[in-house]
Amino acid sequence: MGDMTRYADFFGQPVSLFGVGALRKLPGYLRAFSANRAVLCTDTGVVAAGIAGEVLKVLNEASKLDVTVFDEVVANPTEECAARGYELYKATPGALLISLGGGSAHDAAKAIGVMAAHDGALWDFVGVNKLKRSLPPLIAINTTAGTGSELTRFAVITHVAKRTKLTLVDWRLTPRIAVNDPSLMVTLPPELTAQTGMDAFTHAVEAYLSRSATPLSDACALEAIRLIAEYLPRAVAHGADMEARAAMAYAQYLGGLACNSAGVGAVHAVAHQLGGLYNLPHGLCNAVLLPWVLEYNLLGCMERLAEIATIMGEDAAGKSTRLRAEKAVEAIRALGRDVGMPQRLGAIGVKEEDCPTIARQALEDPAIFTNPRRATESEIMAVLRKAL
């Protein structure tokens, strides 16, 4: 008898629009909601880049939506940020929520949706499937490739007092429609392209190595790894390379879809602490941590890491599983270096005196449960010290 635990639940996402010009397909779908109002949840950077204007133009031309813009989303969104959006949403009950941006915009919109359906409460719903009511429909338009939040059932919100990020996991958080139009990503600067791309890559790698991986999540994860290894360097080297942008938009969706069911691992568990403690970009934290955590995880996922080496085009035929697994870690370290990511935690401002808190809180993060190696506090401490 095979391992039947591999045939586990899968969490999908209803409609995702891909390709150059995908945004123009959106109004046709929006009409089905028969809403006449919407709140567009975005940030000042997306407005300044002219992307919000472009989206509003398409919405105005093709549908009768009356759109209110909330442009106060911050990076690593807080409860307070979502509460401000909720105040605006309250004035337009029944409105659709449209998020436009990267993971921060989508996560903030998810939190606004939770508040809209539950009289402003948010932290009561940390955990798995804790929501009491369905949320206003969310349409998520991506400008990065990406966090995968435009398709996931996760909302990651910073708890300012606790200086950590808390995760709401609920199938009702899943956006109804996701838009991944590479023409909205083409102006993203190389550094942000690299950070968000490495986040997507980390989703795929951690999902593939996850204890909850399934045949469906594996298929998505492996294709995401292959595409990102090939196209992220190109998207960083030349932002206007539309083939690379389109491949990245698709690959990050696959990475998100893989981790939506399989979960992530210790990289994310620690990255959530670094984000909460230092307000650092999420993808940057993952990019720095990934090779160090994989070196530690190697014992628990040697076969699968070895397969990643093959997928990434490393010629390791005839070598031992152990050597092929090490090759994968090397290739992943080189990918981060190639796209300009720092190699050590000290370089992004992580302080040694904070490491005990980081290690302790990482073990409380739900991402740790699917890590291929069961980690202890002292082991996480050792990884952090090595990576400093």
Applying CB under 5 A, which residues contact Fe ion? 199
Taking the least distance from each CB to Fe ion, the nearer of 289 and 345 is 289
- Work out the number of other CB atoms within 10 angstroms of the CB of residue 215: 10
| Gap between the Cα atoms of 219 and 239, Å rounded | 28
Taking the least distance from each CB to Fe ion, the nearer of 282 and 327 is 282
| Gap between the Cα atoms of 293 and 273, Å rounded | 15
Is-contact 164 276, C-beta < 8 A?
Answer: yes
**Residue 350 has which token pair?**
């992580």
- Work out the number of other CB atoms within 10 angstroms of the CB of residue 17: 19
Taking the least distance from each CB to Fe ion, the nearer of 96 and 109 is 109
**To the nearest whole angstrom, how small is the minimum distance from the Cβ of residue 62 to Fe ion?**
32
Report the amino acid identity of residue 352. Answer: E
| Gap between the Cα atoms of 137 and 25, Å rounded | 17
Say whether 188 sits in a helix, a strand or coil: coil
**To the nearest whole angstrom, how small is the minimum distance from the Cβ of residue 283 to Fe ion?**
7
Q: Nearest-CB residue to Fe ion?
A: 199
**Residue 206 has which token pair?**
């951690």
**To the nearest whole angstrom, how small is the minimum distance from the Cβ of residue 340 to Fe ion?**
19
Taking the least distance from each CB to Fe ion, the nearer of 107 and 199 is 199
Taking the least distance from each CB to Fe ion, the nearer of 170 and 199 is 199
| Gap between the Cα atoms of 265 and 1, Å rounded | 28
**To the nearest whole angstrom, how small is the minimum distance from the Cβ of residue 150 to Fe ion?**
13
Angle at which helix 266-278 crosses helix 190-209, to 10 degrees, equals: 140
DSSP 296: H
Task: List the beta strands (DSSP E) in 250-331.
Answer: none
Is-contact 92 39, C-beta < 8 A?
Answer: yes
Pairing of strands 154-159, 96-101: unpaired
Taking the least distance from each CB to Fe ion, the nearer of 200 and 305 is 200
- Work out the number of other CB atoms within 10 angstroms of the CB of residue 352: 11
Taking the least distance from each CB to Fe ion, the nearer of 150 and 199 is 199
**To the nearest whole angstrom, how small is the minimum distance from the Cβ of residue 203 to Fe ion?**
6
**To the nearest whole angstrom, how small is the minimum distance from the Cβ of residue 132 to Fe ion?**
27
Is-contact 146 249, C-beta < 8 A?
Answer: yes
**To the nearest whole angstrom, how small is the minimum distance from the Cβ of residue 102 to Fe ion?**
11
Q: Which residues contact 159 (CB under 8 A, 6 or more apart)?
A: 78, 79, 123, 165, 166, 276
Taking the least distance from each CB to Fe ion, the nearer of 239 and 281 is 281
Sign of CA dihedral 280, 284, 288, 293: positive
**To the nearest whole angstrom, how small is the minimum distance from the Cβ of residue 154 to Fe ion?**
9
Taking the least distance from each CB to Fe ion, the nearer of 165 and 324 is 165
**To the nearest whole angstrom, how small is the minimum distance from the Cβ of residue 53 to Fe ion?**
28
